Structure 1
Amino acid sequence: MAKKQLVTTIKVQVKGGQATPAPPVGTALGPHGVNIGQFVQQFNEQTRDMAGTTVPVVISVYNDRTFEFVVKSPPAPVLLKQAAGVAKGAGNPLKNKVGSVTDAQVEEIAKTKMEDLNAGSLEQAKKTIAGTARSMGITVVG
């Protein structure tokens, strides 16, 4: 019997609990012969509690057309927009401020993102998140 080998790794961002066989999932998995319906069902089941939040997924596809996937934490800009209650960041963040978040909210986002960030401590993670907020036109207060 042939040994199971990794063929490719695919990264996509999908709304939690709302994956469909349509793009971007279908176009990413289709060329590799993966059962798209099976992936969609498993993904939606696993991310039901994150409904509506964009979540990055890393899918490992093997030579026997099986797959495994890892759901990462939502991107920092998505979490910041939710915390600030804004639809999108500022077009020109130096001149326009679209909202604000508290230091406690930044810390909570940093804790959520900690395993996906390359920060050595929570303080460094908070600085990274605060920098992302600044570049989106979101002010960090308190």
Structure 2
Amino acid sequence: MSKAVKAAATRIRVVINAGQAKPAPPVGPALGQAGLKIMDFCKDFNAKTADIKPDVPIPVVIFPTPDKKFTYVMKTPPASYFIKKAAGLESGSQKPGHDVAGTISLKHIYEIALAKQADVPHIPLKSVCKSLVGTCRAMGVAVVARPEEA
């Protein structure tokens, strides 16, 4: 495989808090190995995420081009972030399946699924909801039918 084809086929995945991209790890080493301009990415990312709360983790997929430029796609925050915020938790259960760290309702699951479906538009909403319920189970968060039961 030629260098041009290999460089075009690679992609860099990092998770960066909104508005907090800086040349330090994880951004600097990941972009530096690909030979990309780190400060250009940091300035552009910080400008695009300036209106988002600073503690929100944003998954980013960076596609380098052979001429040392790049394009990138920002995804929605991880499902675990949304679940923790909906349940009002700092972290999940230490012993999922044994201890319940918190509860959320099916309405919360539906709202999170609507937000997450932007990343995977070809997957039905019902499947995204089922996946979120599984994530809740893995985090030790109970899912209840009605918000007043939470």
Other-structure match for 1:108:
111
- 1:44 is paired with a residue whose SS is helix
Residue-by-residue CA offset, 1:42-78 (whole Å, 9 max, x unaligned): 1111122333111110000111110100001111111
- 2:51 is paired with a residue whose SS is helix
Tell me by how many angstroms 1:102 deviates.
1.4
Other-structure match for 1:47:
49
After superposition, where does 1:1-142 map in structure 2 within 5 Å? Answer: 6=8, 8-51=10-53, 52-117=55-120, 120-141=123-144, 142=146
Question: Unpaired runs of 5+ in structure 1?
Answer: none
Question: Unpaired runs of 5+ in structure 2?
Answer: none
Structure-2 change in CA distance of 1:43 and 1:129 (3 Å): same
Residue-by-residue CA offset, 1:112-141 (whole Å, 9 max, x unaligned): 111334873212211111110111011111
Provide the aligned length of Structure 1 versus Structure 2: 140
Mapped partners of 1:78, 1:56: distance in 2: 12
The runs of 4+ residues in structure 1 deviating greater than 4 Å are none
Give the letter aligned to residue 134 of structure 2.
G
Structure-2 change in CA distance of 1:92 and 1:22 (3 Å): same
Q: Say if 1:119 and 1:125, in contact at 8 Å, map to a contact too.
A: no
Mapped partners of 2:110, 2:44: distance in 1: 31
- 2:93 is paired with a residue whose SS is coil
Structure-2 change in CA distance of 1:70 and 1:48 (3 Å): same
Structure 1 length normalisation: TM-score?
0.90
Give the letter aligned to residue 8 of structure 1.
T
Mapped partners of 1:43, 1:20: distance in 2: 10
Mapped partners of 2:11, 2:41: distance in 1: 14
Structure 2 length normalisation: TM-score?
0.85
